[in-house]
Amino acid sequence: MFDLLVKNGKRINGEKVEVAIKDGVILNVDTTIESPAEKIIDLAGEHYVSAGWIDDHVHCYEKMTLYYDYPDEIGVTKGVTTVIDAGTTGAENIGDFYELAKKVKTNVYALINISKWGIVEQDELADLTKIQADLVHDRLVELPQFIVGIKARMSKTVIGENGITPLELAKDIQRKNQNLPLMIHIGSAPPELQEILAVLDEGDVLTHCFNGKPNGILDKETDQIKDFAKVGYEKGIVFDIGHGTDSFNFHVAETALKAGIKATSISTDIYHRNRENGPVYDLATTMEKLRVVGYSWEEILDKVTNVPAHYFHLEKKGKLAAGYDADLTIFDLSNGEKTLTDSNGFTRTAKELIKPVKTIIGGTIYDN
C-alpha cells in the first residue's frame, strides 16, 4: 500500500499523470495507477503537477541583518520544495545555519561564502584574511549533506581594492575540493565582467545574468549582447537569473533571448525585503516574468527543477520519476492580467499566471 497517491493530475504539456509515494520516495509515475493508498489526492484533471520547484539562489539564515529570511516563508508556502542559500554564511556560522535549517519543512541547502563570516557586512571580500581555505575545507568535510557549493560575490561594493583576486582564490578552493559547484555574483565594476568570465569554467554559475548595470552582458551603446558574454555562454557557464532587488532587467532578458541566450536556471535572490515589498515576491512571480520575456512554460519548469538539481548535484531531486524524492509542486495556470515589475522599475503585463496550490515535501502535503 502506498502512503500517498496523487490522482488525475496534468503535466505541463496536458498529459494525464498520477504519482505514487511511499516512505518519502516516488515509487511510480504513470498515466493511471490503480493501487490502494493511505491517502489519495484527486486533482480531478484541474491541476498541474511537476517535480518540486527549486530556488537555487535565496538568503534565509535568519540571524543575519543585511540579507535574511525564513526558509518556509520563501519555500513551502510559495510552492518551493527546495531552496539553496547562496552564501549568506561562511565557515564560522554555517554550522549554526545548518542546525536551524534542520527544523523547517522546506529542504534547505547552502553555498558556503568564501569569506568566513559570510555577508555580515556588504564588503565581505575587501579583507582577504577572511578567506581561509582550510576553514572552508573543514566545513565541507563536516557538512557534506548541507553544503552543495561555494559562493563569491564579485562586485565593487564587496571586493574593495582586491580586483579579481577573490575569484582566483575561490577557484583555487573549488579545485582543492572536488570541483564543487561555484556561484559568482556579478554587479558593478570592478572587476570587469569580461575578467570574471575569463576565469570561469563550464558549469560555474554566473548569477544576476540579466542585470541592467553597465557591467552586465548588454552593451548600452549598441543595445547588443557583448561578444565576450556570448563566448562565456557558449563555453557552458551557467547563466542564473538571481532576480533580486537590483539584478533583473526585462530589456536585457529580451535582448539576450533574441541573441539566442536563455537563462540556464531561474532563481529569485529573495530575502525578506524584496519578498515583502517586491519586486521579487516569490519564485512563481519570477517564473511569470520569464514567460512574458518569451520562454515556454515547459522550459521554465525545467529551469526550476531538473536544471538546478543537476548543477548542484541534488541527485534525488528535480524529476517526477520513480526513485526520486517525493517533492512535488501542484499548481494552476490561468489567464488574467498582472503587472510585473523588474529591478529597475520597468513593467510588463502578464497574461498567463502560475499559482501553486499544494506543496508536497518528502510525501507530506502542505496547502498553499
**Tell me: the pLDDT tens digits for 331-344?**
999 999 999 999 99
- In contact, 93 and 140? CB cutoff 8 Å: no
- Distance in angstroms (rounded) separating the CA atoms of residues 48 and 356: 9
288-320 burial: b if 16+ Cβ within 10 Å, else e? bbbbbbebebeebbbbbbbbbbbbbebeebbbb
Q: Name the pTM for this structure.
A: 0.97
Kindly report, residue by residue over 235-266, the tens digit of the pLDDT.
999 999 999 999 999 999 999 999 999 999 99
Instruction: Tell me which residue has cell 496550490.
Output: 357
pLDDT of 266: 98
Instruction: Tell me which residue has cell 568570465.
Output: 197
Beta strands across the sheet bearing 238-240: 53-58, 80-86, 107-113, 147-154, 182-186, 205-207, 238-240
pLDDT of 227: 98
Residue 166 pLDDT grade (very low, low, confident, very high; cuts 50, 70, 90) = very high
Kindly report, residue by residue over 125-154, the tens digit of the pLDDT.
999 999 999 999 999 999 999 999 999 999
- In contact, 257 and 250? CB cutoff 8 Å: no
pLDDT of 180: 95
Kindly report, residue by residue over 324-333, the tens digit of the pLDDT.
999 999 999 9
> Alpha carbon of 292 to those of 73, 116, 331, 354, 357: distances in Å?
25, 39, 18, 12, 22
> Angle CA(227)–CA(229)–CA(233) in degrees, nearest 5?
120
Average pLDDT, the chain: 97
Read off the C-alpha cell for 67. 540579507
pLDDT of 292: 98
Residues near 343 by beta carbon (within 8 Å), at least 6 away in sequence:
211, 212, 243, 244, 245, 246, 247, 248, 249, 279
pLDDT of 358: 98
Neighbours of 63 (CB within 10 A): 11
Residue 200 pLDDT grade (very low, low, confident, very high; cuts 50, 70, 90) = very high
Compute φ and ψ for 306, nearest 5 degrees.
-60, -40
> Angle CA(316)–CA(322)–CA(328) in degrees, nearest 5?
65
Residue 274 pLDDT grade (very low, low, confident, very high; cuts 50, 70, 90) = very high
SS3 53: strand
Q: Which residues are annotated as a binding site for Zn(2+)?
A: 57, 59, 151, 185, 208, 269
pLDDT of 40: 97
Residue 97 pLDDT grade (very low, low, confident, very high; cuts 50, 70, 90) = very high
Helix 250-258 × helix 283-293 angle, to 10°? 50
Residue 307 pLDDT grade (very low, low, confident, very high; cuts 50, 70, 90) = very high
- In contact, 62 and 93? CB cutoff 8 Å: no
- Distance in angstroms (rounded) separating the CA atoms of residues 221 and 99: 49
pLDDT of 79: 98
Distance, first Cα to last Cα, the chain:
27
pLDDT of 225: 98
Residue 56 pLDDT grade (very low, low, confident, very high; cuts 50, 70, 90) = very high
- Distance in angstroms (rounded) separating the CA atoms of residues 322 and 358: 20
- Distance in angstroms (rounded) separating the CA atoms of residues 284 and 164: 35
Provide mean pLDDT across the span 340-368: 97
- Distance in angstroms (rounded) separating the CA atoms of residues 276 and 229: 33
pLDDT of 95: 98
pLDDT of 342: 98
- CA-closest candidate to residue 184, choices 360, 198, 22, 3: 198
- Distance in angstroms (rounded) separating the CA atoms of residues 24 and 329: 15
pLDDT of 31: 97
Instruction: Tell me which residue has cell 555580515.
Output: 120
Q: Which residues are annotated as a binding site?
A: 57, 59, 151, 185, 208, 269
pLDDT of 162: 96
SS3 306: helix
